[in-house]
A = this chain, B = another copy of it.
């Protein structure tokens, strides 16, 4: 991960500002002869798109993706895949205030201190809009991984309200505007978040990601660990402040006996009796589901005025009216899934480069 490029062999470079003419990305290193069209990508973008419920910003971005290169007669060619979305909802008239003032919790100040200049329109490069390209790249990564690898995400907590994991139902995730796997929690959250929204406030959230069908062996000691790359990938999403694998921070409270995942043989494969490890040991996938969580801070744009400063060094107060997600964590679900897909795709390529004979299942080698 360096600057605006992510990945080692499956490499994604994104570009574009919230209110520029377009945003885009280049996906390099994708294997050839994968069937790919805009129709494979668009559904994932549609899931992330704002304006689909009253709990996400009312900006209307059709987010129509175009493939500009790397696909020929419906198949990838092995050359760079350029994806692009034209920006159509650029309300540049809105940005008088933001141009001169640093919004607390945003990147306005840090971009200014780093670069001495910033594109203040809609947050410029630091806008959550960039995550659309992550989702697009993630759709390509899923094609590479194939149907055997199932990547899903869910919102498991909004503000202080976690789901009840006993009620987890993946089907439920697509039935409510929160990607929530617990129908009762979704009902409760509706009321709760309506209150937050009407108060012009915001709240944080926790997202859980699960990848099933991941072959064992992905990841590389010691600085290319699967969990290290995944941590970076998730932490690179806007507003993320924490990342966990498996039991995560809860593991710190456990005794060794309670954290151990026992192993047994089953049909010639090594199987586990539990998954505290979240599918990764020593930085390498075990074959169990990869489980990761990440925490998103509350949207920084709120109605309550917060003391700040302006470009000229005056002390001011900043309050944000207008179109903002009361909980950016909701739309972070498809973004997190996409980053997980990209990390797995990259490591799948890296793994088979070094280990072309690896079996892709938890079968013990004749010797070891």
Closest-by-CB residue of B relative to A134 is: B222
The 10 closest A-B pairs by CB, nearest first: A107-B282, A353-B353, A110-B284, A204-B252, A202-B256, A114-B217, A232-B232, A32-B115, A256-B302, A15-B80
A56 at the interface (CB under 8 A from B): no
In-complex Cβ contact of A22 among B68, B110, B238 (8 A) = B68
Number of interface residues of A (CB under 8 A): 162
Question: Can you list, as one digit per residue, whether each of A1-26 has a CB less than 8 Å from chain B (1) or not (0)?
Answer: 11111101101111111001111101
Residues of A12-66 at the interface with B, using a CB-CB cut-off of 8 Å, are 12-17, 20-24, 26, 28-33, 66
A-B contacts, 20 listed (Cβ < 8 Å): A1-B228, A9-B9, A15-B28, A21-B66, A22-B82, A32-B117, A109-B286, A110-B216, A110-B282, A113-B270, A115-B355, A157-B253, A196-B255, A236-B283, A241-B252, A242-B252, A243-B244, A251-B296, A256-B301, A262-B308
Closest-by-CB residue of B relative to A105 is: B260
Contact across chains for A3 and B28 when beta carbons are under 8 A apart: yes
A213 at the interface (CB under 8 A from B): no
A277 at the interface (CB under 8 A from B): yes
| Interface-centre pick from A230, A247, A263, A284 (highest chain B CB count, 10 A) | A263
